[in-house]
């Protein structure tokens, strides 16, 4: 039935460089899994930040509560439109460009983790927020690689899409429940969900980080295999990988130096523009016209994922500033003590 529906789609009237790489129904199911993964990541990040803020308010009872308002993803029309738009973008983006986006993000994440300051605890949170669209591309290219050549591919993708939608729905309900009733339930201790978050909520971020890392490890293997399928010889593959590695190494160094000059949200938006712009220039030289079109769609996908979550980036950057001010205050308090010891 799905094959019959896919055959009715008007892809035969499109030019070759505008048509999808595989069955449109397969692309749609893969994109649905990717959009659900982005929704799960955003919901769990908001739950984690809410738990941190409530814990901070409990530790600072003498100070007035200055909680930053968080946006809640309501299951209304805006949330549905966002989900449909992200699914459509991931559907159009081909597996080749999705693989390039995954490899670029992993290279930037590893280099950023190596050069990050040890006292910057917010780097991991900022990286998770920035990885939303890349995570969707990771799910898409991983499913493309795993189910390639499967006899009942549509059934496997349908089961994966149903499971991912169920998880996204449950995490969205968890976020709404925690935002509305966590303070009441945790104080009176009669809700099992809130009590479990109160006792083991600090494990949420490490668990989320491990899951995202495992997802990108599988996606890197799939991305390398997908990109190498488009080359006929080792010389052609070397001609593609050499400028890609050199260009993105220089871009990463430039973005890391420029990131400290701008605020968190502005630096992230500028980094996205520079990264995708460099990838577009590379595709104009060694790629195809379909890749250029898919990169333009990646601009829309990155914007649709980052703009609604600017509050998460601001919260992570503000936490970084608080950590920096705490370190400065500690140094100022330790200086008189060190001087007194020297005098003695």
pLDDT tens by residue, 25-61: 888 999 999 999 999 999 999 999 888 888 777 666 5
Res. 236: pLDDT tops 80: no
| Terminal-to-terminal C-alpha distance of the chain | 87
Confidence band, pLDDT 50/70/90 cuts, at residue 132:
very high
What is the C-alpha separation between 88 and 140, in angstroms, rounded? 12
In this prediction, residue 213 carries a pLDDT of: 93
Res. 8: pLDDT tops 60: no
Of the two residues 275 and 24, the one the predictor is more confident about is 24
Residues 97, 132: contact at Cβ < 8 Å?
no
In this prediction, residue 63 carries a pLDDT of: 47
DSSP 3-state assignment of 151? Answer: coil
Which tokens is 38 given?
């982005």
If you write DSSP's letter for every residue of 281-332 in order, what string do you get? Answer: HHHHHHS-HHHHHHHHHHHHHHHHHHGGGHHHHHHHHHHHHHHHHHHHHHHH
Report H helices in 132-288.
Answer: 132-146, 153-188, 192-200, 204-228, 234-259, 264-286
Average pLDDT over residues 213-221: 94
Report residue 14: phi and psi, to 5°: -85, 155
pTM of the model: 0.81
Average pLDDT over residues 245-261: 64
Confidence band, pLDDT 50/70/90 cuts, at residue 318:
low
Query: Left if phi > 0, otherwise alpha if psi is -120 to 50, otherwise beta: which for 232?
Result: alpha
Confidence band, pLDDT 50/70/90 cuts, at residue 269:
confident
What is the C-alpha separation between 209 and 192, in angstroms, rounded? 24
Query: Left if phi > 0, otherwise alpha if psi is -120 to 50, otherwise beta: which for 259?
Result: alpha
């Amino acid at each position: 039935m799905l094959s019959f529906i896919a055959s009715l789609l008007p892809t035969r009237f499109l030019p070759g460089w505008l048509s999808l790489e595989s069955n449109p129904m397969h692309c749609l199911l893969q994109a649905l899994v990717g959009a659900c993964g982005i929704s799960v990541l955003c919901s769990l990040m908001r739950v984690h930040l809410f738990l941190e803020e409530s814990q901070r308010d409990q530790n600072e009872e003498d100070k007035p509560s200055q909680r930053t308002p968080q946006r809640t993803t309501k299951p209304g029309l805006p949330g549905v439109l966002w989900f449909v738009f992200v699914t459509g973008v991931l559907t159009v983006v081909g597996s080749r460009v999705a693989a390039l986006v995954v490899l670029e993000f992993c290279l930037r994440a590893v280099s950023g983790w190596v050069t990050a300051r040890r006292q910057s605890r917010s780097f991991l949170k900022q990286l998770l927020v920035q990885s939303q669209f890349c995570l969707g591309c990771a799910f898409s290219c991983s499913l493309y690689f795993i189910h390639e050549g499967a006899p009942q591919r549509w059934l496997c993708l349908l089961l994966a899409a149903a499971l991912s939608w169920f998880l996204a729905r449950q995490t969205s309900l968890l976020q709404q429940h925690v935002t509305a009733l966590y303070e009441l339930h945790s104080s009176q201790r009669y809700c099992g969900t809130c009590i479990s978050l109160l006792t083991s909520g600090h494990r949420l971020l490490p668990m989320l980080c491990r899951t995202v890392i495992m997802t990108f490890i599988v996606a890197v293997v799939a991305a390398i295999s997908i990109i190498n399928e488009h080359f006929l010889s080792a010389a052609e593959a070397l001609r593609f990988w050499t400028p890609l590695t050199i260009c993105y190494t220089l871009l990463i160094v430039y973005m890391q130096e420029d990131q400290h000059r701008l605020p968190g949200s502005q630096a992230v938006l500028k980094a996205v523009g520079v990264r995708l712009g460099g990838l577009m220039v590379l595709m104009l030289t060694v790629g195809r016209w379909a890749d250029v079109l898919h990169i333009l769609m990646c601009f829309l996908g990155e914007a649709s994922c980052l703009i609604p979550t600017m509050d998460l980036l601001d919260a992570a950057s503000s936490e970084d500033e608080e950590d920096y001010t705490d370190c400065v205050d500690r140094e100022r308090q330790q200086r008189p003590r060190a001087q007194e010891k020297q005098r003695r």
